[in-house]
Amino acid sequence: MDRGHLGTAVAPTERDDESYLDFVEGLRVFNMSKVQAAMAERAATEPGAIDQLPIVASRNRLYRSQQEMMWRGVIETYRKRQDELLRELDAAERRGPGRVEWDPAFVYPDYYAQVNYHLQPGGYATDPLAGYIYHLGTKVFFTGRNNTDDVQRQLINLAPAPRDGQVRRILDLACSIGQSTTAWKERFPNAEVWGIDASAPMVRYAHKRAVDLGIDVIFSQRLAEETKFPDNFFDIVYAFILFHEIPRAVGERVVQEAHRILRPGGLFIVVDARSIDPQAPTPTQQVIWGFETTDNGEPYMWEFVTWDFNGYLRRFFRTVVDDYTSGSFLPMRVAEK
């Protein structure tokens, strides 16, 4: 049954499914605002014993169960009308504005194909409905701000432009369902804006979503470490929450690739988790980033947060600003070629 939209996401098939997902979203709010806060408070007063504290087990178990409930609820509700949703993807491919390129014979790298990211069954690329699923799932994850693109739009409106003001081409790396891609086009309507992602279901859904919104952007299934664009092609390359989802060795290749395809004076803008001191993580950092790595489908998270990422950027880029927005929920690194 078509129940319209929740923001730009396709609404759950039945009212009862929507109510269930609202409940799951509320559980997440409760866990993050109450249980996690209580855990951090206990950790500050009993730093040595954090692993032994029952509240850590409660926080982690609740976090994982809530994620599992979220994916189950989202998948079940869309599965009820799978054929219709797949027909929508096919139909959008024949429509504009914009276009989508993807390859049924695309070979996914092992480091990617083996991961059920944030416990999403089959990861980003296995389920043909993965884009729909990710969209509604992240509505729950971002507690309501992701079905309306608020998270992406706020960051992009804070981002700087190159010093000379020239913005002819923008690349959104690992664009998933294209929410940042369309937000860049809204900010720079005269620029040619590309979104690339490894996953075919993601770029297909991203295109459908952009067509529905009437926004003219190009989506393509490509790897961030091997984009196939010419040297000096883009004025801005943007990566929102990509780096913690790839091994460090691949991350190094992505930094070098971004440098290659940016023109001199162009900006590489990266929004991702803050780095921690690998020699002295705080107890809360240990619990949160450790749990993400071992139990929440983020196997490269610890590798990323303990990497001197800014130091690596500085090897290639002329200047690197560590936390451009100072104070947004994740830091924005800005590197100038």
Ligand X SMILES: C[S@@+](CC[C@H](N)C(=O)[O-])C[C@H]1O[C@@H](n2cnc3c(N)ncnc32)[C@H](O)[C@@H]1O
Q: Which residues make up the interface to ligand X (CB under 6 A)?
A: 112, 124, 152, 174-176, 179-180, 197-199, 202, 223-225, 240-242, 245-246
Q: How far is the CB of 266 from ligand X (least distance, A)?
A: 19
CB of 254 or CB of 313, closer to ligand X: 254
DSSP string, 191-258: SEEEEEES-HHHHHHHHHHHHHHT---EEEE-BTTB--PPTT-EEEEEEES-GGGS-HHHHHHHHHHH
CB of 77 or CB of 120, closer to ligand X: 120
CB of 17 or CB of 298, closer to ligand X: 298
Residue 269 contacts residue 332 (beta carbons within 8 Å): yes
Q: How far is the CB of 242 from ligand X (least distance, A)?
A: 5
d(CA 174, CA 297): 17
d(CA 97, CA 175): 18
d(CA 237, CA 266): 8
CB of 17 or CB of 172, closer to ligand X: 172
- Packing angle, helices 15-30 and 130-141, rounded to 10: 50
d(CA 174, CA 153): 16
Q: How far is the CB of 321 from ligand X (least distance, A)?
A: 20
Q: How far is the CB of 181 from ligand X (least distance, A)?
A: 7
CB of 35 or CB of 335, closer to ligand X: 335
Q: How far is the CB of 244 from ligand X (least distance, A)?
A: 9
CB of 56 or CB of 335, closer to ligand X: 335
d(CA 112, CA 124): 9
Find the DSSP H helices in the chain. 15-30, 36-45, 54-79, 82-93, 110-113, 130-141, 150-158, 179-187, 200-213, 248-261, 283-295, 301-305, 309-316
Helix (H, G, I), strand (E, B) or coil at 102: coil
Q: How far is the CB of 33 from ligand X (least distance, A)?
A: 22
Residue 184 contacts residue 238 (beta carbons within 8 Å): yes
CB of 77 or CB of 179, closer to ligand X: 179
Q: How far is the CB of 334 from ligand X (least distance, A)?
A: 16
